[in-house]
Every structure is written in C-alpha cells, then in structure tokens.
C-alpha cells in the first residue's frame, strides 16, 4: 500500500477480501471481457458470421495482467453493442454477487443473536421508554427486538436480490434497432440472443424496458434496502452502548485490548461505535442513488455510481463482519442487571400493592394517595441523598429473586405505615422480578425457537450460516 496516495479505510481496513475483489479493477476488466465473449458466442450461435479464431483469441485473453488492462479495440467490439452493454451488465453482476456474499453474513448474525435471545429469555431486565425505567422485559426479549429488525432488513435485501434482472443486449437507446439490422428484422432472434446472454450470466431474464442503461431505479431499490440495514445497526449498537454504560452488557473485549490510551480502566465499546459510524454512512448513501435516478434525463446521463455502489457494499460488509464479532461474544452481567431491576422494582410493584389492598376492601383512592406520598418521599432520598438513608449498598453476588439491591427505602416505608398492614406479609413476594416480565420468555421461544419465525426465515440460508465463534477482526 502506498503511503503517498489516499486509500479508503473501507478497503484498506474494514471490508472483506471477497467483497473488495468483487469491485476490483481486475474483476471489472475481466467481466467486461467475458461479456464480449458471451455476446460473440451468442451472435455466432444465431447465425452471425464471427470467426471462431476471433472468439478463441478473446477467450484466451479473459484473464487480465497488469500489462494488459484492456483489449485492443478490434477485440472489444461485437455487432450492435455499445459500451453500456458491458458497463451496465457488469454492474448488475457485481451487485448480484455482492448481495450473494452479504446475505449469508446477515443470516449468520441473526442466527447467533437468536441463540443469545433463547439463552437469556428468562433474565429480567429494566425496560425503558423515553430512556426512563419502565416495565420489565428480559435480556433475551430485548435481543428478540433487535432480531426482528434484522429479519426485516434481511427480507428487504433478499427481495432486492431476487428482483434483479439483466440488461442484456438492447442497443444504443434500448430500442434494439441495431440488432434488428443485424438479424434482418427477426425479433425472435433478438429475444433468443438475450435468453442466451441471461443463461450465460446467470440471470432469469432481462428488464423489459431499458434505455441506454438499465433503469437507475434498480440501484435505488438496492440502496434503500442497504441503507435501511445501516439504520437498523445504528439502533442496535446504540442500545448495546447504553447498556455498556450501565455495566449490564458489553461487546467482547480481547485479553490485551486497550480500552483507552489515557484511562486504563475504560472498556470503550469501539466495535459498536465502528458499526454505528459505518451504519450512519451506509444509511445516507441511498440519497446518492436517489439523486442519480432522478437526474437521468431522457435515455442516459452519467453519474457517480462507481463510487456509491462499491461503497455501500463495502460498508455493509464491514458492518456484518464487526457485528458478527459482537454477537459472537456478548458479555452479560447478571448481578448488575438484577441490581438495576431492584432499584426500580419497588416503584413498579406499587400498582400490585394497590390492587391487593383494593381486593381486601381498601379504597383505591386512599391507597393511591398513600403510595403517592411514600413514593415521593423515597424518590427524594434517592435523588438527593444517593440512596436510602444516604448509604451505599453492596449486594451479594448470590442473586435471590427479591434480593435487597434497592437504593430506595420505599418498601421499608410501606412496611412501617399502618395503612399497609394488611399486606405487610405479602410485599416481599410481590418483589420477585419474574412477576413483572409478562410473556417475554414465551415470546422469545415462539419467535426464536424451533419452528419459530426466525428458523423459517433463515431456512433458505441454513447451509451458508457459519456458527463459529472465532471471528477475525481488525480492531
């Protein structure tokens, strides 16, 4: 690598060799050569007089060397085709191959994350709305939320792949007029020509209407699916980064990894930060595709597709590699999660206490007012004194369902208030976190478990899924 010229980190640092190869100059040049060979072979098969020696020479020079970047002019052209025959058809091949490389990687991530969700489907954790503590969920249930969004991305990316077609041989403005001249107005032969080309290139059919190019709406549809994926991974890694700040969940941290050059104690979530940054870049690349499509005046205008198309795939590939590393080694801290739950659970349990009192004949209005007063008193202690009675609690790491991890003295206040005497003996049992997680375990099992939606969605990619935990990554 030259130290005197700019190289994009997408290629030099982040993306896989396989993805970089698809968009390399060598692959582009060799694909162009192959397309000329296919066209010559197809035209000869349909009766055009093309010397076999010429085709043999072309086939003998399919592989590029550093000295022979392109063919001499006399070898490059076949009857009826413009440069867009090779450039546009090549781009469709690259997009197809890049999607075929990307989709199994995304499927692997979903598979691994679904295993994580099943493992932690029963572990209660704080839920948040407006980033404020809300009703409990479970660690696995939160992962299932991420999985559902990733599945939607997989569906949309896969749909853009299955919708891809070939441009084929369409002539200067897509009217096939030059081929009508070559084949003496025999439209059936032109159709057959494109059938042969599609078969050689591995596409089901050609787009029915093309101009000098295939419609750039194809690029936009692919870009939209990939940009959506960029948004999804930003959402997921933001959750992980916040949970890391709460010390509940962490991305894998290598034995000798330095979390901060200045602060040795830190464990910065650098992988998730990288994913979020790449995701932000990817999420915005569809704007280029949209502008390119909308600016395609009449039958063709040039654009910057050679920059944006490779960048979106290199970005998505780098995201998949890094996210695979993260989901392969997520670290969960059960004691910390339980401590956070117990800080908030007494407040959440008050509704159950009120309902129990009402069932015993107390006025709901009176019960609500008593709880309101005690809750505000306990909340003030937390906010103004840092915990109940201002002291720090050091919880045992042997977790009990109702372990006293709480920094609030609300329950103690309830147990000392005469109004609540009828339920004093039942309050502790009401503080079991699993009473507050609803159907989380069942939802995770139904979604991620055997016979569930995730298994069905991943079935087409099962043989391509790599469940290995050993993920090589440049940190």
Residue 237 vs residues 115, 122, 240, 322, 413: alpha-carbon distances, Å? 18, 22, 5, 11, 39
Q: Which residue has the tokens 């910390």?
A: 336
Return the HEC string of 6-43.
Answer: CCCHHHHHHCCHHHHHHCCHHHHHHHHHHHHHHHHHHH
Asked if residue 407 lies in contact with residue 393, where contact means CB atoms within 8 angstroms, the answer is: yes
d(CA 145, CA 474): 28
**C-alpha separations of 26 from 64, 308, 416 in Å:** 6, 19, 79
What letter does residue 11 receive in the DSSP assignment? I
Write b or e for each residue in 6-33: b if 16 or more Cβ atoms lie within 10 A of its Cβ, otherwise e.
Answer: eeeebbeebbbeebbebbeeebbbbbbb
**Angle 396-353-120 (CA atoms, 0-180°, nearest 5)?**
45
Is residue 416 helix, strand or coil? Answer: helix
Tell me the HSE value of 466 on the side-chain side, using a 13 A CA sphere.
15
DSSP 129: E
Report whether 345 contacts 431 (CB < 8 A).
yes
Active-site residue list: 130, 260
């Amino acid at each position: 690598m030259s130290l005197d010229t700019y190289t994009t980190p997408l290629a030099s640092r982040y993306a896989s060799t396989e993805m970089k190869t698809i968009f390399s100059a060598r692959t582009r040049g060799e694909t162009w050569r192959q397309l000329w060979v296919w066209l010559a072979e197809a035209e000869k098969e349909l009766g055009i007089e093309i010397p076999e020696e010429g085709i043999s020479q072309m086939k003998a020079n399919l592989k590029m060397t550093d000295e022979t970047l392109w063919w001499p002019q006399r070898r490059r052209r076949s009857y009826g085709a413009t440069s867009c025959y090779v450039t546009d058809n090549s781009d469709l091949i690259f997009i197809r191959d890049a999607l075929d490389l990307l989709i199994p990687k995304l499927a692997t991530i979903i598979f691994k994350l679904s295993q994580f969700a099943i493992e932690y489907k029963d572990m209660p954790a704080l839920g948040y709305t407006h980033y404020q503590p809300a009703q409990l969920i479970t660690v696995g249930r939160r992962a299932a939320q991420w999985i559902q969004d990733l599945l939607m991305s997989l569906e949309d990316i896969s749909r853009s792949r299955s919708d891809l077609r070939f441009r084929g041989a369409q002539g200067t403005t897509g009217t096939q007029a030059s081929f009508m001249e070559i084949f003496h107005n025999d439209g059936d032969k032109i159709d057959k020509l494109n059938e042969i080309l599609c078969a050689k290139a591995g596409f089901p059919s050609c787009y029915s209407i093309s101009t000098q190019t295939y419609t750039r709406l194809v690029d936009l549809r692919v870009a939209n699916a990939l940009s959506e994926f960029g948004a999804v991974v930003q959402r997921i890694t933001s959750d992980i980064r916040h949970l890391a700040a709460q010390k509940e969940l962490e991305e894998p941290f290598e034995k000798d990894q330095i979390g901060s050059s200045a602060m040795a104690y830190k464990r910065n979530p650098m992988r998730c930060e990288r994913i979020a940054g790449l995701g932000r870049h990817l999420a915005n690349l569809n704007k280029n595709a949209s502008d390119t499509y909308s600016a395609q005046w009449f039958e063709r205008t040039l654009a910057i597709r050679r920059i944006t198309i490779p960048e979106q795939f290199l970005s998505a590939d780098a995201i998949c590699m890094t996210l695979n590393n993260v989901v392969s080694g997520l670290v969960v801290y059960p004691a910390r999660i339980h401590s956070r739950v117990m800080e908030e659970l007494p407040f959440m349990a008050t509704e159950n206490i009120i309902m129990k009192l009402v069932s015993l004949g107390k006025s709901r209005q009176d019960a609500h007012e008593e709880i309101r007063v005690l809750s505000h008193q306990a909340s003030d202690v937390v906010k103004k004194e840092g915990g109940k009675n201002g002291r720090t609690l050091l919880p045992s790491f042997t977790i009990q369902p109702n372990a006293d991890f709480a920094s609030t003295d609300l329950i103690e206040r309830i147990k000392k208030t005469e109004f609540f005497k009828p339920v004093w003996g039942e309050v502790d049992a009401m503080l079991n976190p699993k009473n507050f997680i609803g159907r989380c375990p069942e939802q995770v099992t139904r979604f991620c478990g055997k016979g569930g939606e995730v298994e069905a969605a991943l079935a087409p990619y099962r043989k391509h899924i790599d469940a290995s935990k050993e993920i090589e990554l440049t940190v």
